[in-house]
Amino acid sequence: MTGDGTRAVHAGVPTPEPYEPPLPGPVFAAHFHLPGDPAVAPYAYGRQGNPTWTALEKAIAALESPDQDAEAIVFPSGMAAISAVLLGLLRPGDAAVLPDDAYQMMPRVRERLASLGVTVRTAPTGGDAQLDALDDDTRVLWLETPANPGLDVCDIRRLADAAHARGAVVAVDNTLATPFGQRPLDLGADLSVASGTKALNGHGDVLLGYVVCRDKELAARIRAWRTEVGAILGPMEAWLAHRGIATLHLRVERQAANALAVARALRERPEVTGLRHPGLPDDPSHALAARQMRLFGCVVSFTLPGREFADRFLDALRIVGDATSFGGVRSTAERRGRWGGDPVPEGFVRLSVGVEDADDIVADLLRALDAAAR
């Protein structure tokens, strides 16, 4: 197996053709010339397939599953990918186990599943509650690790083994870690699902989602869902994301190193409480994270003394932007409570560390803390 950098640069890039671009440009086509039988045509109609998706899907599959053949299916957002798995695979009467500390849209997804007659059990990502929530009727176990924004981590291998013993499919939201941080399929999961809007694209200019799996039948069902529901990615977005993957290893390594430097600096500040980053040696998730992750991600979360303090802090930042989302090359932070969807204190800040110089980010954060205290 080649190294991460070599894989990132070459993932999904076709064999060189004389006088063709190394990464072919986006193919804009609602339909393709179609002589004869559509069953043997690689491309026929734009909702079914597009060569620009195919190249991106090969790239993502090569990152999530370098040693074995896996299939990736791309979607126009992370939520479209999540819906394809949960709404596409679960039927009335089935049961599913989902985290209660996951991405802020997940409670809405749980409500929708319940309204369709799916029994939903929830459990926090840390501890053993997810294991205890599994039952013989569980068809899907959904994990998000590290969980956004609380950054608890769960043991994918252990949970996947327990869920498989009950006949459940195991899906992991791999958005925060990225495939260079963690490979859920190698840890026993059936599906690795992610929002590529975050670090995978990394430039804050594309929304994207994907599902990767090794099982051909499962992949076919997810692909069929996309064709039937019509949740399709634009070719321009697909191409931009593929172009960005060439630097994914550089970005995520730099961001993880910067995030650790930032977390170490924030740890020294008395006004910072509840500091979390899985790479910090004394983080409650560190031992487990160190076993299953290769990089600990770019997110650092912490709590400041109240809403006003946090707002003054965010206002005073100059390099770190006040914006939602994470994983981009530019550092951003936000008071997560402003959305009202996460069970977090009013002063809770989710910080996404970018690729700027660590010293500059740290100086900006420490200066803004001083300004907020005045």
Q: Which residues bind ligand PLP (CB under 6 A)?
A: 77-79, 103, 144, 148, 173, 175-176, 195, 197-198, 207, 209
What DSSP designation does 45 have?
B
| CB 28 to ligand PLP: min, Å | 22
At what angle are helices 307-316 and 358-373 packed, to 10 degrees? 130
If the CB atoms of residues 109 and 368 are measured against ligand PLP, the closer one turns out to be 109
Candidates 7, 110, 183, 198; catalytic one:
198
Q: Which of 354, 342, 347, 360 is nearest to 251 (CA)?
A: 354
Query: How far is it, in rounded angstroms, from Cα 317 to Cα 45?
Result: 48
**Catalytic residue flag (residue 198):** yes
Q: Which residue is nearest to ligand PLP (CB)?
A: 78
Tell me the C-alpha to C-alpha distance, in Å, between residue 238 and each of 5, 71, 157, 208: 21, 16, 31, 8
What DSSP designation does 146 have?
S
At 220, the amino acid letter reads A
| CB 363 to ligand PLP: min, Å | 28
Strands 273-276 and 299-303: antiparallel
At what angle are helices 248-267 and 358-373 packed, to 10 degrees? 40
Residues in the chain: 374
**Catalytic residue flag (residue 58):** no
| CB 334 to ligand PLP: min, Å | 13
**Catalytic residue flag (residue 103):** yes
Which residue intervals of 103-196 are DSSP H helices? 106-115, 129-133, 156-165
**Catalytic residue flag (residue 335):** no
Tell me the C-alpha to C-alpha distance, in Å, between residue 320 and each of 74, 155, 311, 317, 365: 30, 32, 13, 6, 8
Q: Give the burial string for 69-86 (b: 16+ CB within 10 Å, else e).
A: ebbbbbbbbbbbbbbbbb
If the CB atoms of residues 130 and 148 are measured against ligand PLP, the closer one turns out to be 148
Query: How far is it, in rounded angstroms, from Cα 56 to Cα 63?
Result: 11
- Torsion 309-326-121-125 (CA) sign: negative
Candidates 173, 283, 342, 364; catalytic one:
173
If the CB atoms of residues 122 and 175 are measured against ligand PLP, the closer one turns out to be 175
| CB 151 to ligand PLP: min, Å | 11
- Torsion 311-313-318-324 (CA) sign: negative
Query: How far is it, in rounded angstroms, from Cα 49 to Cα 26?
Result: 13
If the CB atoms of residues 233 and 310 are measured against ligand PLP, the closer one turns out to be 233
Candidates 45, 47, 311, 360; catalytic one:
47
| CB 80 to ligand PLP: min, Å | 7
| CB 176 to ligand PLP: min, Å | 6
Among all residues, which ones are annotated catalytic?
47, 103, 173, 198
